[in-house]
């Protein structure tokens, strides 16, 4: 099983502005295995239940959430920091056929790891993984506009907002809020 320490081909990646953060040298990103499912559920379950950043059914049970996260076509990764899984993301083709050259990802950081550079590390890893798989761009289809930390991070990572869907997301506390379509070439 290969791991990445924010490196490309054995050489350190020059960290772009989006990737400068407080990640530790112990942070590793690797493909997820079935043994990681409990940790993945521990991370994604509360986020799905909160209903503030993902347009998924809030009542999903563990098996439904994991089936979504590990859907066919998703390459799933986990972030380990000092032996604990603190983040997970999936990478997939955004569309089929004529749109299959554009990647799409979903990222979730464990609540206790927020602010430690986990999301930045996942983003740079996913951009590299997408390039390696032959993708030419990446698109986020439905970024909840009130998720300001994510929007700012994606912008620092080179994503531009190419569309705004007014009131497209029903936020559980704020009511209808905008969703953004964000895009960048690789």
Calculate what percentage of the chain has a pLDDT beyond 90.
85
Helices 118-132, 148-156: inter-axial angle, 10-degree rounding: 50
90 bridge partner residues: 76, 106
Mean per-residue pLDDT for 84-113?
A: 97
* Token output for 179: 């969703």
* Token output for 164: 């705004």
* Token output for 156: 């620092």
| pLDDT score for 25 | 61
What is the Cα–Cα distance from 87 to 44, expressed in whole angstroms?
A: 9
Mean per-residue pLDDT for 79-106?
A: 96
State the chain's mean pLDDT as an integer. 89
| pLDDT score for 129 | 97
Task: For each of the domains in the chain, give its residue range(s) and CATH number, in order of start.
Answer: 7-136 (3.40.630.30)
Q: Which residue has the higher pLDDT, 13 or 128?
A: 128
| Sheet bearing 137-144, strands edge to edge | 28-31, 75-81, 84-93, 102-109, 137-144, 175-185, 160-171
Q: 164 and 180 in contact (C-beta within 8 Å)?
A: yes
What is the Cα–Cα distance from 47 to 155, expressed in whole angstroms?
A: 22
Q: 12 and 124 in contact (C-beta within 8 Å)?
A: no
| pLDDT score for 26 | 74
Q: Beta-carbon neighbour count of residue 39 at 10 Å?
A: 18
Judged against a pLDDT cut of 60, whether residue 65 lies above it is answered with yes
| pLDDT score for 11 | 32
User: Any idea how long the chain is?
Assistant: 186
Q: 124 and 19 in contact (C-beta within 8 Å)?
A: yes
| pLDDT score for 14 | 35
Task: Record the pTM.
Answer: 0.85
């Amino acid at each position: 099983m290969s791991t990445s320490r924010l490196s490309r081909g054995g050489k350190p990646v020059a960290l772009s502005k989006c990737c400068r953060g407080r990640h530790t040298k112990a942070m590793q990103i690797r493909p997820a295995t079935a043994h990681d499912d409990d940790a993945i559920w521990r991370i994604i379950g509360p986020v799905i239940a909160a209903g503030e950043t993902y347009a998924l059914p809030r009542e999903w049970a563990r098996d439904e959430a994991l089936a979504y996260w590990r859907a066919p076509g998703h390459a799933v990764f986990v972030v380990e920091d000092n032996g604990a899984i603190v983040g997970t993301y999936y990478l997939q083709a955004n569309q089929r056929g004529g749109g299959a050259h554009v990647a799409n990802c979903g990222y979730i950081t464990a609540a206790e790891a927020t602010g430690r550079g986990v999301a930045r590390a996942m983003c740079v890893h996913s951009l590299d993984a997408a390039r390696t798989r032959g993708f030419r761009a990446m698109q986020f289809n439905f970024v909840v506009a009130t998720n300001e930390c994510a929007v700012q991070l994606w912008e620092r990572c080179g994503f531009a907002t190419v569309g705004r869907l007014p009131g497209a997301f029903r936020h559980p506390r704020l009511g209808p809020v905008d969703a953004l379509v964000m895009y960048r070439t690789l």
